[in-house]
Amino acid sequence: MDRECVTVLPRVCEVLAASGSSLPDDTSLEKLLDWFTMFNLKQPNGFSLLEAFPCLLDFIPTVVNNSPASDASILSFTLKLTGLISATENGFKVLQEHSLCDLVFDPQRWQEAGLWKDPCIRIGWIQGLRTMLQHSKALGFFVQADLIEPLLHLHTDTSLFVASAANHMLAHILLFCQSENSQNNSKHLTVPVETKQNYSTVTVKLCEYLKKSLVLDGTSALFQSHQALKVLALLLSRAGPDLRDRLLLTVSDSLEELVTTNCSQLTRSLMDVVQAAHRCASLCMLNVRNKEMLKERLVDIKMSAVTRVFITVCVWTGVFQVLQKSYRTLMKWISACADLSSITDQLRKDLIQVVGKRVCDVRWEVRDSTVEFLGHLAGLCDTSEVLLGDRCFTVSLLKEALQDPESYVRASSISALAQTLAPSWQQGAVELVSRLHEILSQDTEGFSRRAVLQYFITWFSLCPSPTSCSLLMQSMHAVLSQGSADLDWEVKVHTLELAELLMDRPGAHPHPYAVTSNKSDLVGVLSTLVDQGVFLVLLGGLVDCDRPVGLKACQLLMRLRDSVCPLLLGDQRVSAPDEPGVSCELPGCGWAQEVRKILGIEDADPAQKSDVVDPGDDRKPEQGGVRDEGCMVRVSVCEVLRSLGLDARLSVLTQSSDHVHNSPMSLLQDILTAGSRNTQLNSEPGLEVIVDCY
């Protein structure tokens, strides 16, 4: 792919250099830079962008010399690109042989061209320099070109973005000097005197600047002090001991002075600096034991007091946010507190009253949080009973909430009901299950339907064996078929998760390494999965337009293929005619048409079709091997699994849905066509696509 990009890039550069107007999509240039950055990261040491893309060497001076006719966004891109190329010593050397860094990073030039007032040029300048400053030669350039002054000037720029970029740049320079120094020292390298001088010049200048900036004199200096404090906080949290000590020594007087001015606008930034300084100085002194003791004491606070406060808040406050926090706090305390004996009857009564009241609140937010609280509480079995008494109370409230007009509340009540499930659960089950079916088939909102599927997943996970959960097993078929036909992708994914549980049920299929020779058992298991609708659910999911559904289905089908079919079919690719097989009926409409297409059932020649048809079933005379029962087709499960091309599909589905169209090549093509469209628009106005909204 990169090779193709290399051939296209020169044309892209031409388009960019020639375009007087910006590209219609403002993200294209940033994405192009992302690609170059990634390229740089992936390359072995020293291999520069210029070696891979020589056209960039012409591109830079063309754009820069064409200013101010060039578009500001393309100029800004060029500044950043120059920085990126010169981030390697090789790249820097080549650029400087053509004096390109001097040309591009000369602020005077941009000022004279009247472009400096555009913040995107200033941002480009700072970011370009910052990317470049990765080696001592770049620092030498920075010092000799005397770029510190313009950079310090931008530190208090009117643009928030420029000022912040300058801030990070200042910190970067100091940290860079520090790391270069320490590396050289540790490797005992002989560093040229000039380089040493550069480090020292920069460090002294910046430290002095910070010291000076901290002093408040007039309102205009407030922003400068604020900025200086930000750099300090940033530096102190990342600097090594030498730089940190030096910084603290330089600025401590100014800092103290600043503290005494009592300027409230700076308090926060000052606190950040103090914290950063304190953290690095006393990190190792933190007394772990004290922390532990504190934690214990917190837990010791009486449960009853917390509950009382909670109830008071819930009863009296109408403010939702407070209520939400109270629920969360109470849940935290309950989970942390082992001794619930302090719960008095009165407290219990109060809590029941509050929950009963809030679950009928006029605001859905309050009802939902209350229902969520009940669900969380039900998850803590014993605690729930201690606090709210009999489970019936909770369940009846939650069942009421199933009728709530707000789908969020309906969904929360279903999830909460799932928390009240117990393996032995029977009472009122039929009625509840039929209500859940109703929600799954009729509710207009996805949230509640998703919750129904999760309810069945929880129920199934709790069920020790199919025989002990007859109601659940009876419901399975309907849940699977409704869930897989749902319009919401998450309902479909949950349906597949439920199907997975059925597949994983003990005895559903053998462990790949288990010694099983009993084919009739396997046939039985596979037949059950087909009868329950699991196989059709997986097939439908495979051709779904939503990628997560397709992916999940594909993974499950592969598992089925790999664990069951080899044992049924042996190692043969074509099953022997006398071998007992499992077949299923493939519908003739809807998603199944898609599957038929993959299998080549409709238009493939009869010889191919016979591969897919269950050879063991000869109840009906067939045409060309396909038993067409109306619109139904009977197919062999294992043959289908083998013919779907699952491995190829999986490799596509595991990639991002936009991997083709968000690739560098696609980006380059988009820029090219945008360029030619620009030309077209100049001759035919009115075709312009206006960036509006979505």
Partner 1 sequence: MPEIKVTPLGAGQDVGRSCILVSIGGKNIMLDCGMHMGYNDDRRFPDFSYVTQNGRLTDFLDCVIISHFHLDHCGALPYMSEMVGYDGPIYMTHPTKAICPILLEDFRKITVDKKGETNFFTSQMIKDCMKKVVPLNLHQTVQVDDELEIKAYYAGHVLGAAMVQIKVGSESVVYTGDYNMTPDRHLGAAWIDKCRPDILISESTYATTIRDSKRCRERDFLKKVHESIERGGKVLIPVFALGRAQELCILLETFWERMNLKAPIYFSTGLTEKANHYYKLFITWTNQKIRKTFVQRNMFEFKHIKAFDRSYADNPGPMVVFATPGMLHAGQSLQIFKKWAGNEKNMVIMPGYCVQGTIGHKILNGQRKLEMEGRATLDVKLQVEYMSFSAHADAKGIMQLIRMAEPRNMLLVHGEAAKMEFLKGKIEQEFNCYMPANGETAMVTTNPSVPVDMSLNLLKREMALGGPLPDPKKPRTMHGTLIMKENSLKLVSSEQALKELGLNEHQLRFTCRVQLQDPHSDPDTLHRVYTHLKSVLKGYTIQHLPDGTVMVESIVIKVSSSAEDVNAKVLLLSWSYQVQQSPTYLFFRRFRPRFGIFFGNV
Q: Is 591 an interacting residue with respect to partner 1 (CB under 8 A)?
A: yes
The residue type of 184 is N
Q: Which of residues 193-252 bind partner 1 (CB under 8 A)?
A: 230
Q: Is 317 an interacting residue with respect to partner 1 (CB under 8 A)?
A: no
**Cβ atoms of 347 and 307 closer than 8 Å:** yes
Q: What is the nearest approach in angstroms of partner 1 to the Cβ of residue 691?
A: 4
Q: What is the nearest approach in angstroms of partner 1 to the Cβ of residue 162?
A: 7
Q: Which of residues 268-287 bind partner 1 (CB under 8 A)?
A: 268, 272
Among residues 50 and 273, whose Cβ is nearest to partner 1? 273
Among residues 21 and 396, whose Cβ is nearest to partner 1? 21
Question: Phi, psi at residue 466, to the nearest 5°?
Answer: -55, -35
Q: Is 489 an interacting residue with respect to partner 1 (CB under 8 A)?
A: yes
Residue 46 φ/ψ region, left for φ over 0, alpha for ψ in the -120 to 50 degree band, beta for the rest: left
CA angle in degrees (0–180, nearest 5) for 141-146-147: 85
Among residues 148 and 674, whose Cβ is nearest to partner 1? 674
Binding part of the chain for partner 1, among 131-139, 294-302, 423-431, 668-676 by CB under 8 A, reads 668-676
Q: Which of residues 442-461 bind partner 1 (CB under 8 A)?
A: 444-447
Q: Is 339 an interacting residue with respect to partner 1 (CB under 8 A)?
A: no
Binding part of the chain for partner 1, among 172-180, 294-302, 382-390, 585-593 by CB under 8 A, reads 585-593
Q: Which of residues 646-665 bind partner 1 (CB under 8 A)?
A: 648, 652, 654-662, 665
Binding part of the chain for partner 1, among 182-190, 394-402, 610-618, 671-679 by CB under 8 A, reads 671-679
The residue type of 178 is Q
Pick one of 10, 14, 31, 650: the residue that binds partner 1 (CB under 8 A).
31
Q: Which residues contact 181 (CB under 8 A, 6 or more apart)?
A: 199, 242
Q: Is 555 an interacting residue with respect to partner 1 (CB under 8 A)?
A: no
Q: Is 682 an interacting residue with respect to partner 1 (CB under 8 A)?
A: no
Per-residue contact flags (x/-) with partner 1 for residues 241 to 270, judged by CB under 8 A: ---------------------------x--
CA dihedral (595, 597, 598, 600) positive or negative: positive
d(CA 561, CA 538): 12
Q: Is 25 an interacting residue with respect to partner 1 (CB under 8 A)?
A: yes
Pick one of 90, 96, 329, 666: the residue that binds partner 1 (CB under 8 A).
666
Residue 515 φ/ψ region, left for φ over 0, alpha for ψ in the -120 to 50 degree band, beta for the rest: beta
Residue carrying structure tokens 């020779």:
517
Residue 146 φ/ψ region, left for φ over 0, alpha for ψ in the -120 to 50 degree band, beta for the rest: left
CA angle in degrees (0–180, nearest 5) for 219-224-227: 135
d(CA 505, CA 523): 15
- Please tell me the number of Cα atoms within 13 Å of 2 on its side-chain side: 10
DSSP per position, 240-301: -HHHHHHHHHHHHHHHHHHHHHT-GGGHHHHHHHHHHHHHHHHGGG--HHHHHHHHHHHHHS
Q: What is the bridge-based pairing of β-strands 583-586 and 627-629?
A: unpaired
Q: Which of residues 516-545 bind partner 1 (CB under 8 A)?
A: 545
Q: Which of residues 382-411 bind partner 1 (CB under 8 A)?
A: 408
Q: What is the nearest approach in angstroms of partner 1 to the Cβ of residue 16?
A: 14
Per-residue contact flags (x/-) with partner 1 for residues 630 to 649, judged by CB under 8 A: ------------------x-
Q: Is 441 an interacting residue with respect to partner 1 (CB under 8 A)?
A: no
Pick one of 10, 140, 379, 548: the residue that binds partner 1 (CB under 8 A).
548
d(CA 619, CA 583): 12
Q: Is 618 an interacting residue with respect to partner 1 (CB under 8 A)?
A: no
d(CA 482, CA 25): 42
Among residues 83 and 119, whose Cβ is nearest to partner 1? 119
Q: Is 45 an interacting residue with respect to partner 1 (CB under 8 A)?
A: no
Residue 686 φ/ψ region, left for φ over 0, alpha for ψ in the -120 to 50 degree band, beta for the rest: left
Q: Which residues contact 674 (CB under 8 A, 6 or more apart)?
A: 15, 23, 24, 25, 28
Pick one of 2, 6, 21, 300: the residue that binds partner 1 (CB under 8 A).
21
Q: What is the nearest approach in angstroms of partner 1 to the Cβ of residue 666?
A: 7
Q: Is 126 an interacting residue with respect to partner 1 (CB under 8 A)?
A: no
3-state secondary structure 178-208: HHHHHHHHHCCCCCCHHHHHHHHHHHHHHHH
Residue 544 φ/ψ region, left for φ over 0, alpha for ψ in the -120 to 50 degree band, beta for the rest: beta
Among residues 213 and 636, whose Cβ is nearest to partner 1? 213
Q: Alpha-carbon Rg of the chain, whole angstroms?
A: 35
Q: What is the nearest approach in angstroms of partner 1 to the Cβ of residue 183?
A: 30
Pick one of 6, 27, 51, 434: the residue that binds partner 1 (CB under 8 A).
27
Among residues 152 and 323, whose Cβ is nearest to partner 1? 323
Instruction: Report the candidate in 88, 62, 85, 57 with the shortest Cα–Cα distance to residue 75.
Output: 62
Q: Six-digit token pair at 651?
A: 């490799």
Q: With CB under 8 A, what is the number of residues at the site for partner 1?
A: 71
Binding part of the chain for partner 1, among 87-95, 152-160, 206-214, 505-513 by CB under 8 A, reads 152-160
Binding part of the chain for partner 1, among 141-149, 294-302, 441-449, 516-524 by CB under 8 A, reads 441-449
Binding part of the chain for partner 1, among 136-144, 329-337, 603-611, 674-682 by CB under 8 A, reads 674-682
d(CA 55, CA 49): 10
Among residues 405 and 621, whose Cβ is nearest to partner 1? 405
Among residues 323 and 560, whose Cβ is nearest to partner 1? 323
Pick one of 66, 96, 159, 527: the residue that binds partner 1 (CB under 8 A).
159
Q: Which of residues 593-612 bind partner 1 (CB under 8 A)?
A: 593-594
Q: Which of residues 161-180 bind partner 1 (CB under 8 A)?
A: 161-162, 164
Binding part of the chain for partner 1, among 57-65, 99-107, 247-255, 485-493 by CB under 8 A, reads 485-493
Helix axes 220-238, 267-282, angle to 10 degrees: 20
Q: Is 474 an interacting residue with respect to partner 1 (CB under 8 A)?
A: no
Q: Which residues contact 592 (CB under 8 A, 6 or more apart)?
A: 539, 540, 586
Burial class (CB in 10 A: 0-12, 13-18, 19+), 21: exposed
